Amino acid sequence: MVPGSARTGLQRQDISLNGDLISVSFRHFKHSRKHGSQSLQIPGGVIPASLISPASCVRDFLHARGTVQGPLFAYVDGTPMLRREFDFLLKHLLEFCGLSSQVFKGHSFRIGAATSAALRGESDAQIRAAGRWSSDAFRKYIRVA
């Protein structure tokens, strides 16, 4: 979920919640002309031993963001957040939380999604489809200790 341009980045309407299931629709991405839009279903229940519920976090974010259509990551005036701005804010939020901004970056979301899918036992084909990979490159993203 990294911001893009006002036209092609994730839009407010690309995110939906059904109970604890988070749905993300990717309409524009590197291979969308070839493969068409793709959807990703993310279990949003409480993460064991953390008390964090991704669905609750998304719900809170969407409530704070409001229902106005447009870029998912935008300023109050509706101006889309640029990727470099997202990366800058992520760096400062990580540091605020005491985490290393040298270890975690915007691309960490891709790594986390691939790793979580592998830990849930999803097949290579499912991980490849969810990450929109056309090769086995996804394997270098999986970080299982």
Q: What's the pLDDT tens digit per position in 6-47? A: 566 789 999 999 999 999 888 766 655 666 667 778 888 888
pTM beyond 0.85, yes or no:
no
User: 77-103 as b/e, with b when 16 or more CB fall inside 10 Å?
Assistant: eeebbeeeebeeebbeebeeeeeebee
With a pLDDT cut of 90, the percent of the chain lying above it is: 20
pLDDT tens column, 55-82: 999 999 999 988 888 899 888 888 888 8
Residue 40 is assigned to a structural domain of this protein: yes
Residue 86 is assigned to a structural domain of this protein: no
For residue 17, what pLDDT is reported?
Answer: 92
Residue 51 is assigned to a structural domain of this protein: yes
Residue 139 is assigned to a structural domain of this protein: no
For residue 88, what pLDDT is reported?
Answer: 93
Residue 118 is assigned to a structural domain of this protein: no
For the cut 90, the answer to whether the pLDDT of residue 111 exceeds it is no
Query: Which one, of 15, 69, 12, lies nearest residue 42 by Cα?
Result: 15
Rounded to whole angstroms, how far apart are CA atoms 19 and 15? Answer: 13
Number of domains in the chain: 1
Which of the residue ranges 34-38, 92-96, 106-110 would you say has the lowest mean pLDDT? Answer: 34-38
Residue 13 is assigned to a structural domain of this protein: yes
Contact 22, 15 (CB under 8 A): yes
State which residues form the domain around 30: 1-81
For residue 91, what pLDDT is reported?
Answer: 92
Contact 89, 82 (CB under 8 A): no
State the chain's mean pLDDT as an integer: 82
